[in-house]
Amino acid sequence: MDHTGDDHHDDRASGPNAGVDVPVESGHRSQALLAELAEAEGARIRAEARVSQLVVDIDQARASEASQHSDARIQALEAASAADDMSLDLGLTAGAVAHRIDEYTFIQTHMPLLWARHQDGRIDAWRLHIIAETARDTLCDPANYTVLDEKLAAWLDGRATFTPGQLRAWLGRTVARLEPDNQRERTRRSWADRSARITHDDDGTAQLFSVLSGEDGIAIDDLINQLARARAQATDGVTIQ
């Protein structure tokens, strides 16, 4: 009997994966899909940027066309019709489109570095909205729009990825440093506007909404948890950890 090759060593017969059929291309499929996902996400952001630019361009073109009318009322109606027309294609209300026009125009005018980054596909529409909303609602001095734009560009250049939460946190800290007096005034107004509201639903439940200090919020959260545990124990015999 020919025993040639009896001494051949099979690497699959030993080692930690002995007896396990390990695919040769293990992980290749998921890695390919992840690469495709990244490419699709980049395409989505670039498409958003194109939509943003078109919204601004259509609004400006309609305003230019409206200016040809001699009647001021017709001019106003024609200029405002841009939001109505775009709402049909965007699937939004005319009011929502008008808000986008204002937001994009603000960024294009006051934060050109951010707008360029958006048009290059390096920041999506949602993060653009977060930045615009923060800048418009919190900064009082228009000169600080430029300062924020420059600081934001430096911060973004040092990060490959960032979450909306991280962006909001950075914006909050930066705006507070730019206008500390305004920050204190916003805090004072927020404190003065504290409120609480309870609405009762038809199914026997109720919804609680309140604006209060952080300390009060923590105390109320603890109180609600205690009441919920006590009620669950009393009615259902359930102990909530």
Q: With cut-offs at 50, 70 and 90, classify the pLDDT of residue 68.
A: very high
Token pair of 144, please? Answer: 């600080």
CA distance 98 to 92: 10
Q: 106, 136 in Cβ contact below 8 A?
A: yes
Amino acid 181: pLDDT:
84
pLDDT at 9 over 60: no
CA distance 100 to 130: 12
* Beta strand ranges found along the chain (DSSP E): 195-200, 206-211
What are the residue boundaries of the structural domains of the chain, listed by start? 194-241
CA distance 111 to 143: 11
Give Cα 84 to chain centroid, integer Å.
25
Across 87-112, average pLDDT: 96
Query: Backbone dihedral region of 167: left (phi > 0), alpha (psi from -120 to 50 degrees) or beta?
Result: alpha
Location of structure tokens 């699937």: 91
pLDDT at 193 over 90: no
Q: With cut-offs at 50, 70 and 90, classify the pLDDT of residue 241.
A: low
Percent of the chain with pLDDT strictly greater than 90: 58
pLDDT at 188 over 80: no
* Single pTM value for the model: 0.69
pLDDT at 21 over 70: no
Angle between helices 72-90 and 28-66 (to 10 degrees): 160
CA distance 218 to 200: 24
DSSP state of 14: S
Which residue, 182, 152, 157, is CA-closest to 168?
152
Using one digit for the tens of pLDDT, what is the confidence trace for 202-228?
A: 887 888 777 777 777 787 788 878 887
Using one digit for the tens of pLDDT, what is the confidence trace for 140-165?
A: 999 999 999 999 999 999 888 899 99
Q: With cut-offs at 50, 70 and 90, classify the pLDDT of residue 235.
A: confident
pLDDT at 53 over 80: yes
Q: 162, 122 in Cβ contact below 8 A?
A: no
Amino acid 192: pLDDT:
62
Does an H or E element contain 225, and which? helix 214-236
Q: 170, 155 in Cβ contact below 8 A?
A: yes
CA distance 139 to 144: 7
